[in-house]
Each structure stands twice: as C-alpha cells, then as structure tokens.
Amino acid sequence: MADELEKYNEPLEVEEIIFLVRKEQKERKQYFRVFSFLMIMSFIIPFAGAWYRAFEGAPNAFSLPRFFVSACVLLTISGAAVWSAYRVNLRKIQADIKSRTKTVECAHVVRKLYMPQNNAYFLYLDSTNKLSIEVQETDYYRLQAGDEVNIEFATHSRLYLGYF
C-alpha cells in the first residue's frame, strides 16, 4: 500500500450539482429558521427577566434601557453564532457549487462489516476524509481487505458523493 493516497479533481456531474444545490437551499432555510427563533428569543428573554424582577418587587423592573441593552447583547451573540456557522458550513457548499469540482480519492479497504439490524454493508477505509462507506451487497462480497476503492466527495465541503 502506498503511504500517500492518490487524489485528483474532476468536474461534478449534473446529479451531483443538483444534490449540492438542494443541500445548500435546505441548509439556508435551516439557518433562517434558527436565526428567526434566536431573534424572537432575544426579545422574549429580557421581557421575561423584567417580569421576574417585577415579581421580586424590584423598582423600575421594566426599564427600557435595560431591555434594549439585553436584547442587543442577545441579538449580537445569536447573530455572531449563526454567521460563524454559516461561514464554516454553508459557504463551503456554495464554493463547491461555484467551482463545480469534486475530489476523487483512491483509498484501500481495511475492514468489512455487515450490520444485520438494518441489512447494511460497510467498508472501512484508510482515507483521511471518509472512514467508512455503505456499499451495495454485490460490492461488499466483491471487494476484499486491501482492495482499492475510489471515493468521491465535494472539494470544499467534503460532502460524500459516492464510490466506484
């Protein structure tokens, strides 16, 4: 076995581009939902805190400056969290769609595993990107430990696209 695995880039196929576009749209909607929820909570939490202070008998429990400062702090924290998650994940998928390339890596089968609970066949690989892949039954019996398997994944986001 070679110490370094062979990797090269290829253009994405149409089905793979469609998969990435759908994944990007789905994740963008999810980020919007999460940010909307956090935005609402950024206003509810200071309001609930004001009611708590009012029940405790604190003077000036419904202070507008305190409410807006608390809401702004929570909005800043939640906005920064969503923005950083967006930068880490969604931008990589968008870069894959823009570059329209995938990486093909030649890996070697290390171990085979059959899971009778869900009738699934897995191959464990020596790849740094993907440790195991689910394969069809025919490929499971055809491939042995030490055989080469080419795995395809998106270049930037490292999303698994398939094997051959």
Q: What is the pLDDT of residues 49-106, one digit of tens each?
A: 888 888 888 788 778 888 889 999 999 999 999 899 888 889 999 999 999 999 998 8
pLDDT tens digit sequence for 16-42: 999 999 999 999 999 889 989 999 999
49 and 106 both lie in a single domain: no
Of 99, 130, 148, the domain-final residue:
99
In a domain, 33, yes or no: yes
The span from the CA of 26 to the CA of 19, in Å, is 11
Q: What pLDDT score was predicted for residue 50?
A: 83
pLDDT more than 70, % of the chain: 97
85 and 146 both lie in a single domain: no
Residue tagged 């076995």 (tokens): 1
113: domain range?
101-163
Tokens of 6: 């062979």
Residues 6+ apart with CB under 8 A from 128: 5
Q: What pLDDT score was predicted for residue 5?
A: 62
Structural domain count, the chain = 2
Q: What pLDDT score was predicted for residue 4?
A: 59
Kind and range of the H or E run holding 135 = strand 132-135
Across the chain, how many H-helices and E-strands are there? Answer: 4, 6
Give the count of beta carbons closer than 10 Å to the beta carbon of residue 157: 19
